Amino acid sequence: MVNEYKNYIDGNWVEAKNGKTFQNINPANKNDIIGTFPDSNEDDVDNAAQAAVSAFDKWRLLPAPKRGEIIFKACELLKEKKQEIAALMTREMGKIAKETNGDVQEGIDTAEYIAGEGRRLFGETTPSELQEKFCMSIRAPIGVCGIITPWNFPLAIPSWKIFPALLCGNTIVFKPAHDTPASAVKFVESLEEAGAPKGVVNLVNGMGRDVGEPLVKHSDVNLISFTGSSSTGKEIASLCGANLKRVSLELGGKNAQIVMDDADIDLAVEGALWGAFGTTGQRCTATSRLILHKKIADKFTDKFITRSNALKIGNGLDSLTDMGPLINDSQRERVHKYVQIGQEEGAELITGGSYYEDGDAVKGFFYKPTIFNKVKPDMRIAQEEIFGPVVAIIEIASFEEAIKVLNNSSYGLSSSIYTNDINNAFKAIRDIQAGVTYINGPTIGAEVHLPFGGVKNTGNGHREAGKAVLDTFSEWKAVYIDYSGKLQKAQIDN
């Protein structure tokens, strides 16, 4: 029996207006159908947007601490259903159970953090330049927020956006990734059960061209928050810019880990293994470049190859599995195309580079951990986001060269350096062009109370998570209260 899922609009679970559906399949076993989902279009988006508009005034007037209480109730429900949601997530997107449990936990952590901000949605007070006048700033909601999220973190990333947006008093139209709609349903169910009023959160499933684009263009949607590729982000920014619509973009990465000659090699190998092949390399923060000092390059590479080849590939629900499949067949083909490009460019393929189809793996979209050596910094495999288990090794001769190579990228999301030289560690923090820098840790592993985002083509300057995300989902209003009983003219030469 295949489960039939629906959209959630104005407090009701409903089919797409056109009656169409699509199937959601398990990337580890394409014969396993998770369920059918509404294949929606602009009519469903319009209904959801109208519901969000109707709910906005009542929701924004609910005190922020009360909004926070609803988010905290959703948090408690996610805790209760953590194992269930994680198992479903592994089935629909493939990453191993430890990672999907971590994905749900990140949503829980975000909810706990943001719920507390309901009593700390602080503005500021400041002295006036005039007598008998009071000045302050306060936060105000923006309106209807269109939330468009990717498939690699199908609960964590929506939580980064939706929880703070709701806390600030906004209403939501949520378009999840086409490949991971079941996790989105579980997320919205938690808010429904927690008591979110009808119309405050709306879920519309479907393809980007049929749901995402109408959502971006909709005149009643005041803000778009998108996580995905830089190319799609640029299109969204253009559409929003034409109407001066607020837009927050968290886009691609080509993240690098530097390993200096004074580093703890075993620790650096462990970090690179997790950074490169965690989530099968399908993270915007994945380690796709290893910048190695030539004095330790051979030793590091030998250890890294040995550890990579020992990874167990398979179904993520198997507790012994280290790395699951890629999300779908087209993504696997994309990864393999980049492997061929790397070979054509003259890089040395030292392990992997092909589909993994042993045993039951033939039923899924598996790919071997792949390592290139002798990579030049300007090669395409060192410049373009692959989004798979492929890592490029680049040798350098000095700290200065390492920083130069790391910064030689159109992206700037996450970065890492392994060194025991405290001076070089602080220089790296200062000189690396990235939104996130790790010292003696891999490029993956963000914590929810710190700002997350990048520079250059990684985004448009906004940050998610932490306190900084509140600036994305609220407007600042300056307030002046004059109790002098007379006209006072500020900024006038008296």
CATH code assigned at 426: 3.40.309.10
pLDDT score of 441 more than 70: yes
Three-state DSSP class for residue 288: strand
Query: Which residues pair with residue 349 across a beta bridge?
Result: 372
Do residues 26 and 71 share a domain?
yes
Backbone angles phi, psi at 10, to 5 degrees: 55, 40
Asked if residue 210 and residue 138 are part of one domain, the reply reads yes
Please check the confidence at residue 222 and state whether its pLDDT lies above 70: yes
The DSSP annotation for 408-446 comes to -SSEESEEEEE-S-HHHHHHHHHH--SSEEEESS-S---
Query: Taking the model in full, what pTM does it have?
Result: 0.96
Confidence band of 12 (pLDDT split at 50, 70, 90): very high
Same domain assignment for residues 315 and 435: yes
Which of these is catalytic: 112, 284, 395, 464? 284
* 339 and 232 assigned to the same domain: no
222 and 298 inside one domain:
no
Q: Looking at the structure, do residues 41 and 13 belong to the same domain, yes or no? A: yes
Mean pLDDT of 185-190: 98
The answer to whether residues 134 and 231 belong to one domain is yes
Find out whether 425 and 419 touch, Cβ atoms under 8 Å: yes
Partners of 474 in the beta sheet? 141
pLDDT at 490: 80
pLDDT at 251 over 90: yes
Q: From the candidates 250, 385, 395, 464, give the one annotated as an active-site residue.
A: 250
- Catalytic residue status for 284: yes
| Average pLDDT value for residue range 8-27 | 98
Confidence band, pLDDT 50/70/90 cuts, at residue 493: low
> How far is it, in rounded angstroms, from Cα 440 to Cα 416?
7
Q: Is residue 483 part of a domain?
A: no
CATH code of residue 157: 3.40.605.10
Would 452 be classed as within a structural domain?
Answer: no
Please state the rounded mean pLDDT for residues 351-363: 97
Please indicate, yes or no, whether residues 231 and 368 belong to a single structural domain of this protein.
Answer: no
Average pLDDT over residues 417-432: 98
Q: Where are the beta strands (DSSP E) in 211-329?
A: 223-227, 246-250, 255-259, 287-293
Given this model, what pLDDT does residue 494 score?
58
422-431 and 399-407 helices, crossing angle to 10°: 20
From CA 446, how far away is CA 436, in angstroms rounded? 9
Residue 72 lies in a domain: yes
Same domain, 400 and 352: yes
- 2 pLDDT band, cuts 50/70/90, is confident
- Tokens in use for 47? 């209904």
Q: Is residue 446 part of a domain?
A: no
Task: Flag whether 347 is in a domain.
Answer: yes
- Determine the structural domain holding residue 108 and report its residue range: 3-251+459-478
Q: What share of the chain in percent tops pLDDT 70?
A: 100
C-alpha closest to that of 454 among 252, 159, 288, 279 = 252
In which band, very low, low, confident or very high, does the pLDDT at 492 lie, cut at 50, 70 and 90?
confident
| Number of compact structural domains in the chain | 2
* Chain mean pLDDT for the chain: 97
User: Quick one: average pLDDT of 227-248?
Assistant: 96
- What is the C-alpha separation between 494 and 490, in angstroms, rounded? 9
The pLDDT score that the predictor gives to residue 239 is: 97
Same domain for 211 and 148?
yes
- Give pLDDT tens digits for 69-119: 999 999 999 999 999 999 999 999 999 999 999 999 999 999 999 999 999
Asked if residue 484 is part of any domain, the answer here is no
Q: Over 90: is that where the pLDDT of 491 sits? A: no
199 and 219, same domain (yes or no): yes
Residue 22 lies in a domain: yes
What backbone phi and psi angles, to 5 degrees, belong to 102? -65, -35
Whether residue 325 sits in one domain with residue 212: no
The answer to the question of residue 450 being in a domain is: no
Average pLDDT estimate for 190-197: 98
Q: What is the pLDDT of residues 285-338, one digit of tens each?
A: 999 999 999 999 999 999 999 999 999 999 999 999 999 999 999 999 999 999
- Mean predicted confidence (pLDDT) in 356-362: 96
**How far out from the chain centre does Cα 266 lie?**
29
Question: Per-residue pLDDT averaged across 198-224, rounded?
Answer: 98
